[in-house]
Structure 1
Amino acid sequence: MAPELEEVPLGKTDRFNNLGINSVNRAEIIMTVMEEFWLNVPRIELARAKNIGELPDLFLGKL
C-alpha cells in the first residue's frame, strides 16, 4: 500500500497527507483493516480520521 513507509517511524499524530498517503492508499488501508477484523463500517465514518492515531480509535469503537 505504501512500501516507502515501511522503514519510516510513524507517530499517532502523523497526518496521512504529510506521509504521502493519498485517498486511494487510505481506502486500501481501511479496506484491509476492515477485512482483517470482519468489520462493516460506513466509510464516511472513517473519513473523519485526520491522522494515524484517530483511525484505530474509530475502528475500536466499532468492535
Structure 2
Amino acid sequence: MDRQEVLSVVLKHLRLNVNGLEGREIDPSKSMVEFGASSLDIVEVVSASMRELQIRVPRTELAPLRNMDELVDLFTKIKNKTQ
C-alpha cells in the first residue's frame, strides 16, 4: 500500500470526526489540532484509521508524532511490513 492511500484513509477519518473540514484543503504537515481536532477526535481518527488499515501501533510509537505526515509515514511503514 502506498503512502497516498494511507493518507487518504487518515484524511477521510479526520473529515468524519472534525466538523467544518468538508471541502477544505488539509495540509498533512500540520497537526490535527490545527484543524480543530480535540484529543478525543484524534484518538478516534487514529483508531479508525488503524482498523481500516488493519494494523496495530503501540502507543509509545504514536506519542512522539507531531503532525499527520509523521502519522502517515508510520502507518505506511507498518502496513507494508505486515503485507
TM-score category, normalised to shorter length = 0.7 to 0.9
Q: Which stretches in structure 2 are left out of the alignment for 5+ residues?
A: 1-16
Q: Distance in 2 between matches of 1:52 and 1:7?
A: 18
1:1-63 alignment to 2 at 5 Å? 1-63=17-79
Q: Which stretches in structure 1 are left out of the alignment for 5+ residues?
A: none
Name the TM-score, length of structure 2 as normaliser.
0.66
* Structure 1 segments of 4+ aligned residues over 3 angstroms from their partners: none
Name the TM-score, length of structure 1 as normaliser.
0.83
**Percent of pairs with identical residues:** 30
Alignment deviations for residues 12-46 of structure 1 (CA, whole Å, 9 cap, x no partner):
21222221112111100011111101111112312
Q: How many residues align?
A: 63
Which structure dedicates a bigger proportion of its chain to helix?
2
